[in-house]
Amino acid sequence: MTRLPPVYDRIRKIVDWTPKSGKLLDLGCDRGDITVRYKAKAKQVFGVDNNPDAIRDAKKLHKGVTFVLAQGEKLPFPDNSFDTVVMGDVLEHVADEEQTISEVYRVLKPNGNLVLSVPHKGLFRFLDSFNMKFAFPRVYKWWKGKKYNKKVYDIQPWHRHYSLAELKKLFGARFAVKRVHRGGLIAYPVAWILGDALSDIGKGNFIRKPMDLVRHAEYQIGFGPLGYTILIVAQCRKDF
């Protein structure tokens, strides 16, 4: 059996907050490295991603999980299929937020759970390394040097951040928020920036684990509206 590497910060808390259930969907599963952990949480685990290369690798790497190539806006499952849907840092990337949440609602059973993590509109959201190219274009171009590619603006569009109020508005009456954690403050985004910068010059590996531990420690602290990322558990309501 392949030994799984340790996970830190939001990933560990996402897994911890995921309730045990019969059937679980990991939406935006990538290569399945996190999805496989949900085998301890559900009897049946499915992973969905829109990247054919990632799904191909996931099927080769991980057994006991059903991986499916699909868009979040059009899930290939019947109504009321899952007890739990997990979206770990996925919603901010989808093309159509409303349609994706509508699909999640459709495939969840009544009283099923959505476990969702997204970047939060906190105090230091401007330090998002994904958005450096927009917020500080000249610095970003200098930082990347020979690795700079102007196509990155199309490949990686704006990394959306959400407030709790915006998520509740997106959910409407379909989901009732049960648990909330807004963790990380400034060490969290700074660690990401440093990690990316060091990786660009081939020096990231030796400091990656210490920075992961720093991020993890800060993420455990609830900073409320100031926090850098938000994790919620919301219950699916189909009784209204």
User: Is 208 a residue whose pLDDT tops 90?
Assistant: no
Tens-place pLDDT, residues 121-166? 999 999 998 888 888 889 888 877 788 888 877 877 888 999 999 9
CATH top-level class of 9-236: alpha beta
In 3-state terms, the chain is what percent helix, strand and coil (to 5)? Answer: 45, 25, 30
User: Is 2 a residue whose pLDDT tops 60?
Assistant: no
Task: Give residue 204's pLDDT.
Answer: 56
Tens-place pLDDT, residues 86-127? 999 999 999 999 999 999 999 999 999 999 999 999 999 999
Q: Where are the beta strands (DSSP E) in the chain?
A: 21-27, 42-49, 66-69, 82-88, 108-119, 175-183, 229-236
Rg (CA), the chain: 18
Residue 215 banded pLDDT, cuts 50, 70, 90 = confident
- The residue among 238 and 18 whose pLDDT is bigger is 18
Strand order through the sheet with 21-27: 66-69, 42-49, 21-27, 82-88, 108-119, 229-236, 175-183
User: Is 49 a residue whose pLDDT tops 90?
Assistant: yes
Task: Give residue 51's pLDDT.
Answer: 96
Tens-place pLDDT, residues 178-191? 999 999 999 999 98
Tens-place pLDDT, residues 156-173? 788 899 999 999 999 999
Residue with tokens 């009456």: 173
Provide the mean pLDDT of the chain: 91
Torsion angle defined by CA atoms of residues 40, 45, 51 and 54, in that order, rounded to the nearest 10 degrees: 50
Task: Give residue 1's pLDDT.
Answer: 42
Task: Give residue 169's pLDDT.
Answer: 98
User: Is 199 a residue whose pLDDT tops 70?
Assistant: no
Give the residue among 90, 9, 10, 110 at the shortest CA–CA distance from 47.
90
